[in-house]
Structure 1
Amino acid sequence: MDERINESLDILIENEALIGHELRSMLKSFKEEKSVLGYSFGKLCYCHYEAFTECLDEDIYKVAAAIELLILSFDIIDDLQDKDSDYSWSTTPELSFNVALAMLVMASRIIRETSFEHKNTAVQILEDYALRSINGQQLDLLNICRDDQSYIQMIDQKSGSLTAMSCLIGEVLAKGEISHEVEEYGKYIGIIQQIKNDIQSLKTWGPKNDLLNKRYSLPIIYLLAQKNDVSNAVTNYYNNDKADFLDNNATENMLTNGGAIRYAITVKNVYKFKALNKLEDVAISELGKDYLKRLMK
């Protein structure tokens, strides 16, 4: 599946007549750089299309590729905003923004030019959920979601929208309508993946660590709510512009052994069980369900 989506991406990029050599070259390069991670969003679209159709249209690979273009554009913009990426696009941010913009336009146009009966509805879903994700990204950059509820609502928008979008586009292309169950577990998959990323961020005490960058995530929100010497030191670090001293060992120990990481894992598992419950009500193949369950781990 990754190979088929990658082939479609290569063809679509090569055949786009309205971009020049420089833009095309960068687009190819960025695509190759991210391809090693696989095309999970495109696969979400494909497996939901396959689940609800009786006759496979080969254009579904184009749609999966279009979704991956949109996701890559969001990844590039996110990395440029955060200024914490090792990818090549961070070395030329001004030029890279143009590549991301080209990907965004191409994504909707590719779907619109397919042979699917319900392609316009699919484009509408892509635009609606992309805007919802951008709103979540804005809230994340503002760093204002400092309690559990507002933080979950933010990642529901930022991350959950993109996974739900991928599932729903596949479903609507197959049968012309979408279901509440697919939308719900689609969102939950994005929430689960974001919480996993939040936990991973805290395992490396370096430039990408959310705590050192004074960012908020579920483990950090939990830690800050504790009333002890470590949480007080972290609170002071967050509240002051100057780089207050942090005891790295004590802080790492509190995150790991003081309940913060366990709390985040517990919340992740709550959404995993919610997603599994919704998945049981959807007539999708066992192979498809296995793939979805792997994303929920």
Structure 2
Amino acid sequence: MRPEVMQTMIDMVDKYVRIEEFNKLLKECVYEKGSEQTGWGEITRYAHLMLGGSSPNLDRTAAITEMIMLAADIADDLQDQDNKDKLWMQYRQEYVINGVLALLMGAVAESAELTNGKGGPVTLTREISRILLESLNGQFADLEQNVTTEQQYIAMVYQKSGSLIHLACYMGYAELGLDSKAAGTMKEIAYYSGIIAQLENDLKDLLRFDMKNDILRKKRTLPILYLLSAEESFPYMKQYYEGKLTQSDLLAKKQECIDYINDSGCMEYSKIIQTLHRQKAAELLESLTTVSPWREKFQQVTLITA
């Protein structure tokens, strides 16, 4: 995170939170997030610049984006209980929930002070709320763990992850007054980028056998759906998902499970889906009138290539 963006977030905390311990908690969360290679504010920045923007408020806008995404990250960790080493997981959960609300409300309050080319601050805050609610719908679908098909998975990720990238993009172009076609194209790019990013996370979590492992948590990501549909050579995973095996039973077959994953083709298949979405997003980006080098930088933070 850029130092100037993090400082703006700290200033926002001081502006809205006056109880010393609460202020300290939120600042620690901001510093923790600032130490990561977070790209949310950069998406906002590059979306703005590549579409011809030159706002003097860009750091502030990027900071609002980062505040919202920090709240979303904390809420996600509270729900999943799989990131125990995070600073915010060391505090009492009721304090942290209060912190999530404070970060969101502070971001909304700051956004209300910004204006855009189509409707002013009311339009901006309304659209932020609408996009966030779309993401929350996807998050709830993920928590229900009722996804059983690739189509359901894609629809869930479009909402959950795609909406957040859409929000980061929207924060960048909101004041530019894009026509409906260009705004729709940016939304499509964001949703394709959400699939790319989520698949990257799914693949990283597939082979790590700790609390972040999606199989142990019985999540149904795209590579896991692939594994569950072709389980003849390793039926134990499906049995675990059906409750016929315990976690200890599955962990006793850890190496067999890893071998099955590596040999199954699920990772290759997921990479193909990633590539297809990357190509679609790149084609859409080419159709827009954009400014270099900001378009290329925007691609780097949204269309993951590693």
TM-score normalised by L of structure 1 = 0.93
Equivalent residue for 1:249, pick from 252, 255, 259? 255
Counterpart code for 2:105: V
Counterpart code for 1:251: C
Residue in 2 that maps onto 1:66 = 64
Check conservation: 2:206, 2:215, Cα contact below 8 A.
yes
Residue in 2 that maps onto 1:106 = 106
Shift of 1:292: 2.7
Instruction: List aligned pairs for 1:82-97, cutoff 5 A.
Output: 82-85=80-83, 86-92=85-91, 93-97=93-97
Counterpart code for 1:42: G
Check conservation: 1:66, 1:110, Cα contact below 8 A.
yes
Shift of 1:268: 0.9
Instruction: List aligned pairs for 1:169-184, cutoff 5 A.
Output: 169-175=171-177, 177=179, 179-184=183-188
Instruction: List aligned pairs for 1:113-124, cutoff 5 A.
Output: 113-117=113-117, 118-124=120-126
Residue in 2 that maps onto 1:130 = 132
Instruction: Could you tell me which runs of 5 or more consecutive residues in structure 2 were left unpaired when the two chains were aligned.
Output: none
* Residue 168 (1) aligns with residue 170 (2): yes
* Residue 191 (1) aligns with residue 189 (2): no
Provide closer, same or farther for how the CA distance between residues 224 and 242 of structure 1 changes in structure 2, counting only shifts above 3 A. Answer: closer
Could you report, residue by residue, the CA deviation over 1:115-172 in whole angstroms, capped at 9, with x for unpaired residues? 5453332222211110011111111111111210101111110010010111122112
Could you report, residue by residue, the CA deviation over 1:44-65 in whole angstroms, capped at 9, with x for unpaired residues? 11222223346x3322221211
Could you report, residue by residue, the CA deviation over 1:217-243 in whole angstroms, capped at 9, with x for unpaired residues? 11110011014131x211111111650
Mean Cα displacement is larger for which, 133-142 or 234-243? 234-243
Residue in 2 that maps onto 1:212 = 216
Check conservation: 1:254, 1:260, Cα contact below 8 A.
no
Residue in 2 that maps onto 1:35 = 34
Shift of 1:288: 2.1
CA RMSD for the aligned pairs? 1.8
Instruction: List aligned pairs for 1:9-48, cutoff 5 A.
Output: 9-16=9-16, 18-48=17-47
Instruction: Could you tell me which runs of 5 or more consecutive residues in structure 1 were left unpaired when the two chains were aligned.
Output: none
Provide closer, same or farther for how the CA distance between residues 53 and 279 of structure 1 changes in structure 2, counting only shifts above 3 A. Answer: closer
Mean Cα displacement is larger for which, 113-122 or 152-161? 113-122
Q: Give SS of 2:56's match.
A: coil
Provide closer, same or farther for how the CA distance between residues 115 and 109 of structure 1 changes in structure 2, counting only shifts above 3 A. Answer: same
Shift of 1:42: 1.6
Residue in 2 that maps onto 1:238 = 241
Shift of 1:176: 5.4
User: Aligned residues, how many?
Assistant: 294
Give the whole-Å Cα distance in 1 for the aligned partners of 2:279 and 2:51: 24
Residue in 2 that maps onto 1:271 = 277
Identity of aligned residues (%): 26
Counterpart code for 2:294: G
